[in-house]
Amino acid sequence: MMGPRQEARAALFYEFSLEDHVPQDYLLRSIDRFVELSSIRAYLAGFYSHTDRPSVDPELLIRMLLVGYCFGIRSERRLCEEVHLNLA
């Protein structure tokens, strides 16, 4: 093709929607509809130190434990790997 060479440019922003990639009938979607954990941070705020390193988000921790119970993951290390690899 004649003319200046056109090179593909990497997009500055990448649009990604988790909703488009996780099936609607996936088990974790069903659990998410019934489990309301948004108020747990305020409830547990008094138990966390304000002087040390920040702790694990309690909502995330409970959600991870639910995933472990639902999928039979007994190891915390394996659970962290699975959560890191699995977008859902």
**What is the sign, positive or negative, of the torsion defined by CA atoms of 44, 56, 58, 68?**
negative
Range from 16-20, 26-30, 72-76 carrying the lowest mean pLDDT: 16-20
* Residue 10 contacts residue 72 (beta carbons within 8 Å): no
Each domain of the chain, given as residue ranges in start order, spans: 24-47+56-85
* Residue 67 contacts residue 58 (beta carbons within 8 Å): no
* Residue 59 contacts residue 41 (beta carbons within 8 Å): yes
pLDDT tens digits along 36-77: 888 888 888 887 777 777 777 888 888 889 889 988 999 989
- Return the closest-CA partner of residue 44 out of 30, 59, 25, 27: 59
Distance CA 12, CA 14 (A): 7
